[in-house]
Structure 1
Amino acid sequence: MRTRSKPKQKKSKWLLSSVIIILVLIIGAAVYWGAGIASSLDSFNKDKGDSIINKEDPDIVVDIPNWEGKERVNILLLGADAREAQGMEETRSDSMMVASIDPVTKQANLFSILRDTWTDIEGYGQGRINTAITLGGAPLAMKTIGDLTGLEIQYYVYTDFEGFKALVDAIGGVNYTVEKDMKYKDNADKNRYDIDLKAGYQLLDGDKALQYVRFRHDAMSDYTRTERQRAFIMTVAKEMQSTWNIINMKKILDSVSPYIDTNMTVTDMLKLGQTGLGIKMGDSAQIPPFDYLREINKGGAEVLSYTSKDDIHNYVQEVVTPKPDPTIDPSGDTEATNSSTSTE
């Protein structure tokens, strides 16, 4: 049996879970197509000159798989701090998730990608997985994460801090239980992004929700944070399905549009919207999974490696495979099931 020391807590600058944006697209495109939101959705797909993450032609061009609408669709969800795009700094993907949806089984799975994972980046050797977007824009990030997970990634959606806050505010905030006091001083931008939350059930507006998903000062650092992200995202997904938010969908879409970048066309969004009808959440997971992780040193810095890509691919396939419902008798003999549980 492998043994592993507890992961060390590392400094981190930024976090954002952008997966909630794709839920906006799915619900909005499916429910409000033809009701005045086509222009709102179209504005999510930015021209190169307006894009935050695809500013220049990359040195290495990678192919992006097409999605025909019947097979599994995988969407890379990128969250970052747009402040890094200002001045001389490049924007890196600070939070990376893959939403994987099977149109046949109507099951969606969510994978959190640890940003310090050391892996192959096509054309550049090896490096931290979150640098792929800096080297080749969203397409190279899609290719790199697709190679690691074994999933063909057809789409990406990017947003930043302010997009996250705008979405949460647009849906009226989220009632949520903060499990403990959270406090952290962030000296950048005159402490604009300090974290100061009290434990307990409360209404989180955009600013407080951002504090919650950014907090990483736990004993397990990023590991605990990605779990916290996924739980919060599922709560937001439920809020998005409320009648009030559906009625106000155009307003919600317009409020987040300035902060979103994607390669989806409106037609793609419509297809995803139809796929998203009746969708149910399956398992969510961290990539690489903890059992396959090992810490290594590269250039004097600690990064995260993994046992093998085959191990990761097999694990991902295990997660996306639908699990049998334990309440259903596989033989279909409901009478036998009822009689076995009868007290008479």
Structure 2
Amino acid sequence: MKKKPMRRIVLLLGLILIIFLGVYAYRLYDSLNGMNKATSVEGTTDWNGKDRVNVLLIGGDSRDSGKDGNPRSDTLMIASVDPAKKSIVLFSVLRDTYVSIPDHGKSKINAAYALGGPSLAIQTVSKLLDMPIHYYVYTDFQGFMALIDAVGGVRIDVEKNMDYEDAADGHKFDIHLKKGEQDMDGKTALQYVRFRHDALSDLSRTERQRKLIAAVTEKLQKTSSLIKLPGIIKSASPYVDTNMKPSDMLKLGKLGLSAKGNGIDSIQLPPTNLITNIRTKSGAALSADPAALQSYVSTKLEEAGQGGAGEEKSKN
């Protein structure tokens, strides 16, 4: 007779848990739905949910708008996730890479988004790397800061003092960071990933961007952040544009969690040994043999999840 009250308590707790998960799933789905603002995007490839999926991450600087109001991309990354290996490779493309942009001749790759929005950026990256692009995610400075603030900031070890001032935007995005490990909010994290005023310029900047994304990924995988996920997504949603449906986002989120033990392979494109410095009509740029670059990317994807695939590996 004493077992009945305990059984009722267990059933009640189970019912509460089911209700909680249902409400959580609804809130999460509703928040994700607000991010999908794209009607149709040329150049993307359908994903079957089982094979490798490639997502183009575009960071824009709204202060520098081009055709149709699109800015040049300040950041271009490709997150490549392999469901079978449970591995993630994060490629970052140097913004001064000189490429062929479909129907626009040759230019630096960061011009593609300004000339034709996400469709042209996708086509350009896909052609350069011989890689299908399934989805894209775009955000600007405000969206970046909102996301970092929403997750409660990140802890980053700053490699050196960083100082840069720009009066063009009223000093709103000046950079003043001190060397050492520190907690960063959205504003200071933006300073960290934007700084490139040193000898290595964009090479060190893209490395810092990959480092910060790995830190954010690690934080999002923690239980406390997962519980807050609907609120985090809601905060960032107004500043994010993507062609992913909520169901696609949930699948990718699940893949990201399953890859937790393998870490993220973080790789610069083109790699230093393939870079050639060139002069163009618009100034200095970087070039790389397309066939050699595509072979390099293919090799890194094959190595992913086996250890030693990336130039640097971030363990989550």
User: How does the TM-score come out when normalised to structure 1?
Assistant: 0.77
Choose the corresponding residue for 1:40, options 25, 31, 45: 31
1:309 aligns with 2:300: no
Shift of 1:141: 0.6
C-alpha change, 1:309 and 1:199, in structure 2 (3 Å) is same
Q: Return the letter of the residue paired with 2:108.
A: R
State the Cα deviation string for residues 105-145 of structure 1 (Å, max 9, x = none): 01110101011111111222222111111222201111110
Tell me the amino acid that sits aligned with residue 46 of structure 1.
K
What residue in structure 1 maps to residue 277 of structure 2? Answer: 295
Unpaired segments ≥5 residues, structure 1: 1-29, 49-53, 55-60, 327-344
Query: CA–CA distance in 1 between the matches of 2:35 and 2:111?
Result: 23
Which of 189, 208, 221 is the aligned partner of 1:228?
208
CA contact (8 A) 2:160 2:179 kept: yes
Higher-strand-fraction structure: 2
**Aligned position for 2:301:** 320
Bigger helix share: 2
Secondary structure of the residue that 1:153 maps to in structure 2?
coil
Distance in 1 of aligned mates of 2:254 and 2:231:
21
Match of 1:277, SS?
helix
Change (3 A) 1:269 1:219: same
| Partner SS state of residue 275, structure 1 | helix
| 1:133–1:141 Cα contact (<8 Å) kept | yes
Contact 1:283–1:320, Cα closer than 8 Å, also in 2: no
**How do 1:134-153 and structure 2 match up within 5 A?**
134-153=114-133
Q: Give the superposition deviation at 1:171.
A: 1.5
Partner secondary structure for residue 210 of structure 2:
helix
Shift of 1:230: 1.2
**One-letter amino acid of the structure 2 residue matched with residue 98 of structure 1:** I
SS in 2 for 1:81: strand
Q: 1:230 to 1:172 in 2, by over 3 A?
A: same
Alignment of 1:145-184 (within 5 A): 145-184=125-164
For 1:230-309, what aligned pairs fall within 5 Å after superposition? 230-279=210-259, 280-306=262-288, 308-309=289-290
Letter of the aligned partner of 1:38 in structure 2? Y
Paired with 2:69 and 2:246, the residues of 1 have a C-alpha distance of 32
Describe the SS at the equivalent of 1:191.
coil
Q: For residues 225 and 22 of structure 2, what CA distance do their matches in structure 1 show?
A: 11
Say how many residue pairs are matched. 285
- CA 1:243/1:282 → structure 2, altered by over 3 Å: closer, same or farther? closer
1:95 paired residue number? 75
Percent pairwise identity: 45
> Equivalents in 2 of 1:86, 1:138: separation in Å?
13
Structure 2 segments unaligned to the other structure (5+ residues)? 1-20, 309-316
CA contact (8 A) 1:33 1:270 kept: no
